Structure 1
């Protein structure tokens, strides 16, 4: 039993290692295919799909449209009827018994008549009370119905107004974009890049400025710092210590992977902008890719640029991104590249030619 328990424990640890390595491989695959992942995606954003239509919920007060049922009619109570007592039985005292029975019957009849008369007198008041209560309930129903109708109409108008304002704003946005208005171009590029799906935990931020004079987009892309990328080659189970331990990735492999991430993000971003801009408003892109990280020399957080490149639409459209080596492509475009992004070595973009 001990051997079986030990074997089961080892098997569980091995399964844990396999799961960890599968998750690690998935993370690395996502990072290593950043450029490839976007090539089969149409980055164009159809702004017409942002148009809204009004959807009104059903009116919740329909039950109030039905009048309150009137109260049941109170009938007049039936008048009491005197019923003489039956003749007494027996041979002795029949006269006395009959007199006593008649006296009781007459007394009961008098009480019944008095009760009946009292009910007759109270009946109009009770009928009036029920009628007034019904009238009040009907007034409350009508008031509640009107209040709900007023609220529904107010909400209806508000929804109509909100959608109309949104669509009018969208129409203006589309019109401004067709004219190449700066704010509209920058907003559209922001929408395009916000739609770009990166691996979970890999957050990319963009800042775009459009210059209509030369149709150039200045684009700054901020990616996660090197320490956010795993540096584990694999996990293994050490039976002697009964621990699952990571094996570190070599410095070269870690450097190559992070550099690859940087280069892929640069090409991916340029590709997404040019592909999404079907109006050809942007003819050139001046791109910078970097990160915010703690400078080991100063201990303070600072921005470190890794890539600075300028690309024209014409030149970039000639590239087959499905078959390129990103670093070589960036060099072909005249980019300034960091020699070691993993080590937070900045690129010198002062000599980068314009697009």
Structure 2
């Protein structure tokens, strides 16, 4: 009975132990399952966090991209607004000294491996490596013979080394001599070039100081070519100069309206993962464009006046034009959108840092397009070809063979009729009024065009000397008395700065000798002007 109870107790213990182990196994299984789920969740959280961080980094990169685009856009707009003030901190004068080449040439510096002689081999260095046998060694058979052989071998090595040294030294000297020869050749070529260049610069400076027409044009072209503008500005121009009146005429290509960005701001649209832009208003584009044109005009005039070293410029005429394509015909067209003539004294009196650019131009009597972006054109104050006087500088034998009449040879009556016929061919109805003692002519003309037409007073001065402001005042007085809409003064010579300054804000047109010859040729009459001594 006791044995049976013991057996049952053993079975019960085994069952309890098995149950315990089963519970432990189940608990471990559940623990492992929980750990697995925990790890899965941890991994999912890690992946989600990594994805979120990557997305945040991407969003940040896109936002940075937009920020850079906006900074670039704003910097460019700021650059456009500072076109005029940008040049005020710079000296536009070109130093003729800076155009010269230095007559000093770099010293000869050979490579390190060729600069110094090689160290020659020394016989003693080779012989010293051979150890002479001592007293005991000499007792050995052949010791003396081996010693002498070693000496001969050392001498042979020395001779080989010496031969190699002599070859290398000879090659070094050859290469060094070649480099010295090339250096001397290069030096002589440079010095000759420098001498020629410096002689050209000296000649250029002398001609410039003498107000040589072509040299003044060259100098001022260099000034304008050095002017720095934003990308997209064509910077094409042509110049002509009249030494008599010291007038420089500049025809300057202005950039198209496309240089004004149509975008006002960039934004990143997160939902679409795209960059959109807010458009700039049309009236803002038009204002920026007109301001930029005024800035280029004033800046160009400032640069040539500031760079004037020898008072070669008393007057500057600036004609700004835009090259475009006519949408109606598809042909290339040129439209003048600003034209101004200003004296040096009047311009240098301006404070370019504080003035309103458009108001300033209008105060200078400029013709400014109210809508340049639409290519609304203005009439140039002076046409480029009218400045080409085509005067005959000297009266010689060959001049008598020229079939063109010399206007200075005409009598007052002939000159009156010439001027009257000229403006008649140009579409005006002219009537001569009187002849003055100095050969001038007063005429009243009528422009029959509606709205813009009216009464025109024309006066001509067959002068050799510069026409001053008094003649312009007389014309203006005549206009007031006649109730004329416009006055035209024609001369065979040229005008002084005071004459242009007086007429800048009045309906007066001044035509000098070159302009008269140009208008005559354009209307079928070729002539010339020769001043006799």
* Mapped contact 1:339–1:347 kept (Cα < 8 A): no
1:349 equivalenced with 2:349 (yes/no): no
The TM-score, its normalising length taken from structure 2, stands at 0.53
1:41-94 Cα offsets, whole Å, 9 max, x none, are 33222332333323404421575465554444376x999x9967xxxxxxxxxx
- 1:120 and 1:324, CA in 2 relative to 1: closer, same or farther beyond 3 A? closer
Equivalent in 30, 37, 49 of residue 79 of structure 2: 30
- 1:15 and 1:68, CA in 2 relative to 1: closer, same or farther beyond 3 A? closer
Give secondary structure in 2 for the equivalent of 1:18.
Answer: helix
1:56 equivalenced with 2:106 (yes/no): yes
1:331 equivalenced with 2:380 (yes/no): no
Aligned position for 1:100: none
Instruction: Identify the range of structure 1 (15-24 vs 115-124) with the bigger mean alpha-carbon deviation.
Output: 115-124
Aligned position for 2:288: 257
Unaligned ranges ≥5, structure 2:
1-47, 384-508, 512-533
Aligned position for 2:353: 322
1:196 equivalenced with 2:196 (yes/no): no
Aligned position for 2:218: 187
- 1:325 and 1:61, CA in 2 relative to 1: closer, same or farther beyond 3 A? closer
* Mapped contact 2:121–2:158 kept (Cα < 8 A): no
1:270 equivalenced with 2:270 (yes/no): no
Matches within 5 A, 1:1-355: 13-53=62-102, 54-60=104-110, 64=114, 66-73=116-123, 135-349=166-380, 353=509
Q: Distance in 1 between matches of 2:122 and 2:382?
A: 97
State the Cα distance separating 1:230 from its structure 2 match.
Answer: 0.8
* Mapped contact 1:284–1:313 kept (Cα < 8 A): yes
Aligned length: 330
State the Cα distance separating 1:254 from its structure 2 match.
Answer: 1.0
Aligned position for 1:102: none
The TM-score, its normalising length taken from structure 1, stands at 0.76
Q: Distance in 2 between matches of 1:62 and 1:15?
A: 51
Q: Distance in 2 between matches of 1:354 and 1:337?
A: 19
Q: Distance in 1 between matches of 2:77 and 2:161?
A: 80
Q: Distance in 1 between matches of 2:316 and 2:235?
A: 18
State the Cα distance separating 1:259 from its structure 2 match.
Answer: 1.2
Q: Distance in 1 between matches of 2:313 and 2:243?
A: 8
Which structure would you say has the larger RCO, counting Cα contacts within 8 Å and 6 or more residues apart? 1
Q: Distance in 1 between matches of 2:218 and 2:52?
A: 64
Give secondary structure in 1 for the equivalent of 2:376.
Answer: coil
State the Cα distance separating 1:349 from its structure 2 match.
Answer: 2.0
State the Cα distance separating 1:123 from its structure 2 match.
Answer: 10
* Mapped contact 1:61–1:148 kept (Cα < 8 A): no
- 1:209 and 1:83, CA in 2 relative to 1: closer, same or farther beyond 3 A? same
State the Cα distance separating 1:117 from its structure 2 match.
Answer: 9.9
Q: Distance in 2 between matches of 1:193 and 1:42?
A: 12
* Mapped contact 1:17–1:236 kept (Cα < 8 A): yes
* Mapped contact 1:238–1:244 kept (Cα < 8 A): yes
State the Cα distance separating 1:249 from its structure 2 match.
Answer: 1.4
Give secondary structure in 1 for the equivalent of 2:265.
Answer: strand
Instruction: Identify the range of structure 1 (115-124 vs 149-158) with the bigger mean alpha-carbon deviation.
Output: 115-124
* Mapped contact 2:105–2:187 kept (Cα < 8 A): no
Q: Distance in 2 between matches of 1:261 and 1:336?
A: 16
- 1:82 and 1:337, CA in 2 relative to 1: closer, same or farther beyond 3 A? closer
Give secondary structure in 1 for the equivalent of 2:91.
Answer: coil
User: Computing the radius of gyration over CA atoms, which structure comes out larger, 1 or 2?
Assistant: 2
Cα RMSD (Å): 3.7
State the Cα distance separating 1:167 from its structure 2 match.
Answer: 2.4
